[in-house]
Amino acid sequence: MKHLVSVTDLSHEEVLRLFEVAAELKAGRKAGHVTAPLAGRALALIFEKPSLRTRVTFEVGTVQLGGRAVYLAAGEVGLGTRESVPDVARNLSLWVDGIVARVNRHDTVVSLARHANVPVFNALSDHEHPCQALADYFTLWERGLDFSRARIAWIGDGNNVCHSLLLMGALLGASLTAACPAGYEPSPEVQASVRAKGARLDLTHDPRAAAAGADVLYTDVWTSMGQEGERARRLEAFQGYQINEALVRLARPTAVVMHCLPAHRGEEITDAVLDGPQSVVLDQAENRLHAQKAVIKEFIGDR
């Protein structure tokens, strides 16, 4: 049974294979080809947190592959409250062919995977967002970025999106820098895992040093879902970490700016940069669809 709970569930070869499949599916879709490897099959989508991109791309992607998606809002299922997580996993496995879960606590998606007899896909937890990282690196791969020569700079909170970006960057052989305020660095486990892959990871409190000469500048909100109570403290801690035009000018002229979205415009990124010529945020958003279709097809369609 193959799950996608963490980027660490994937090998280098599997990631490259997913890029190839995503590219084929994207080109096929644009050429009007119809393919139905999911015919007669269904995915359950359990979301404990709000979503635009992840929900729509998993639902639409499943439909485009000939399958059916069943959306379950958090209150309906009551993961761990109305029913234990293992019991939910065991029951869903009787009816559906895959489980997509966006959860408050990473442990929940780990437990779903442990007890399910069908593939489980992490659609965001407080620790990781592997589907986002796949779409992000697919976007860079499509643009022909040579990962072994690239430097990717994360500016902001060492959060779930940062963790998956660093872990996949390490798998692909990129050099990584993270500029985070003290106390907001990526988790020690993620840092260790990145370095264990032989990747270079530099940590700094200076966004300008991180941006200088980078090929990719990436940021995300300073207050993630579930951290709303810390918003005032975080706004203060992250002053100076905004990606604005002055910061972008320090990066390579060919650099791209990335953001998983949703953005808090005017906080971690300015309108001018988000909507500017170096921004690839809409390519990332589009590629969520194609990258996840590749995951569904490879993990479920061919079983």
Which amino acids are annotated catalytic? 102, 129, 132, 220, 260, 288
Closest approach of ligand NVA to the CB of residue 49, in Å = 7
Closer residue to ligand CP, CB minimum distance, 248 or 260: 260
- Residue 287 near ligand CP by CB under 6 A: no
- Where would I find the H helices in the chain? 12-30, 53-64, 74-77, 85-95, 106-115, 130-142, 160-172, 188-196, 207-211, 231-237, 245-248, 271-274, 281-296
Residues 102 to 131 in contact with ligand NVA, rule: CB under 6 A: 124
Closest approach of ligand NVA to the CB of residue 160, in Å = 5
- Residue 6 near ligand CP by CB under 6 A: no
- Residue from 177, 224, 279, 287 touching ligand NVA (CB under 6 A): that is 224
Paired strand residues for 83: 79
Tell me which of ligand NVA, ligand CP, none is bound by residue 160, counting a contact when its beta carbon lies within the kind-specific cut-off of 5 to 8 angstroms: ligand NVA
- Residue 176 near ligand NVA by CB under 6 A: no
Closest approach of ligand NVA to the CB of residue 157, in Å = 7
Residue 218: closest CA among 276, 271, 189, 179: 179
Q: What's the Cα-to-Cα distance from 128 to each of 34, 69, 213, 249, 264, rounded to whole Å?
A: 32, 23, 27, 30, 20
Determine the interface stretch with ligand NVA among 68-76, 95-103, 216-224, 276-284 (rule: CB under 6 A). 216-224
- Residue 159 near ligand NVA by CB under 6 A: yes
- Residue 132 near ligand CP by CB under 6 A: yes
Residue whose tokens read 């990781």: 128
- Residue 290 near ligand CP by CB under 6 A: no
CB contact at 8 A, 224 and 156: no
Residues 24 to 83 in contact with ligand CP, rule: CB under 6 A: 51-54
CB contact at 8 A, 265 and 271: yes
Q: How far is CA 74 from the centre of its chain?
A: 20
Residues that bind ligand CP (CB under 6 A): 51-54, 124, 132, 260-262
Residues that bind ligand NVA (CB under 6 A): 124, 159-161, 220-221, 224-225, 260
